[in-house]
């Protein structure tokens, strides 16, 4: 395997997609007026009155229409005001609600999904890697990187396999040695890897990008497909973030995604491997 690129992820999964499918991806861009789910979470949701009380975490209440979801949000706010004296309700610019109690506990509520990115992760909250529609005809592969950090990308000489790696080093003077140990561990495929999904990369020109990023947000890019042949691989950016993706030329076909993790004494890592199952 040859290590060819790094990608900065600010939280949220890494997306792998064929360039043709990625061209339709709108990422975290808002899609107002289409949300049909009430989403709320916070520090006192266990104390809410029925039917809103929940055992912590995030709650998603599916509704039949956007209007019904709006009505449920209004009902939730009314229930909080009736139950908690002095509750301060503030509406944010994006339409979401933040509620603060006098004891400084907070909760939040919004209509969901607010974006294609939200729709993807909310449909697969318990999965480390999954596929989800990103265009009318294509799916993308999403891999959870466990918070903000840098993902390293390696590719096989035959361009029929890709390795995505996230590492948590010790932070001391042994980091170079740890890097060698990590790569020695992950480069050969091992029995610890578990199958997660299959992804079709039909053209071979494949985008690896921080998933909230919409195709239209990329700066200084006129032809993503042409970037697949750049050497060294191109680094994608927006007007706000640098180094949030790349484009690689792979053998066109269907790839199996496998995932694994390792916890060492001073460092840990997790990875996702794409391996060609069948060419086009």
Whole-number pLDDT of residue 255 = 98
Burial level of 176, CB count in 10 A (0-12/13-18/19+)? exposed
Contact 240, 198 (CB under 8 A): no
Whole-number pLDDT of residue 279 = 66
Contact 163, 273 (CB under 8 A): yes
Count the residues in the chain: 280
Whole-number pLDDT of residue 15 = 98
**List of the chain residues with pLDDT < 50:** none
Whole-number pLDDT of residue 103 = 96
Whole-number pLDDT of residue 180 = 92
Whole-number pLDDT of residue 21 = 96
Contact 155, 165 (CB under 8 A): no
pLDDT in tens, 126-150: 899 999 999 999 999 999 999 899 9
């Amino acid at each position: 395997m040859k290590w060819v690129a790094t990608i900065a992820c600010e939280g949220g999964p890494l997306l792998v997609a064929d360039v043709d499918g990625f061209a339709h991806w709108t990422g975290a861009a808002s899609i107002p007026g289409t949300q049909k789910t009430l989403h709320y979470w916070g520090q006192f949701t266990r104390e809410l009155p029925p039917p809103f009380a929940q055992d912590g975490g995030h709650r998603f209440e599916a509704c039949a229409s956007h209007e019904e979801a709006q009505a449920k949000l209004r009902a939730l706010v009314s229930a909080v005001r009736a139950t908690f004296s002095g509750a301060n309700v503030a509406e944010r610019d994006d339409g979401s609600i933040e509620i603060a109690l006098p004891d400084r506990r907070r909760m939040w509520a919004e209509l969901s999904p607010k974006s294609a990115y939200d729709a993807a992760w909310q449909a697969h909250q318990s999965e480390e890697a999954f596929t989800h529609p990103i265009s009318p005809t294509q799916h993308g592969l999403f891999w959870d990187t466990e918070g903000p950090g840098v993902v390293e990308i390696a590719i096989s000489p035959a361009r029929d396999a890709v390795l995505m790696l996230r590492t948590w080093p010790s932070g001391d003077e042994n980091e170079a040695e740890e890097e060698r140990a990590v790569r020695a561990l992950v480069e050969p495929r091992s029995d610890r890897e578990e199958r997660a999904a299959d992804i079709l990369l039909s053209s071979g020109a494949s985008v690896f990008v921080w998933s909230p990023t919409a195709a239209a947000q990329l700066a200084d890019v006129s032809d993503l497909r042409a970037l697949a042949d750049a050497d060294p691989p191109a680094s994608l950016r927006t007007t706000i973030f640098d180094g949030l993706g790349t484009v690689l030329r792979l053998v066109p076909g269907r790839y199996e995604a496998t995932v694994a993790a390792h916890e060492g004494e001073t460092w840990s890592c997790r990875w996702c491997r794409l391996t060609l199952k069948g060419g086009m």
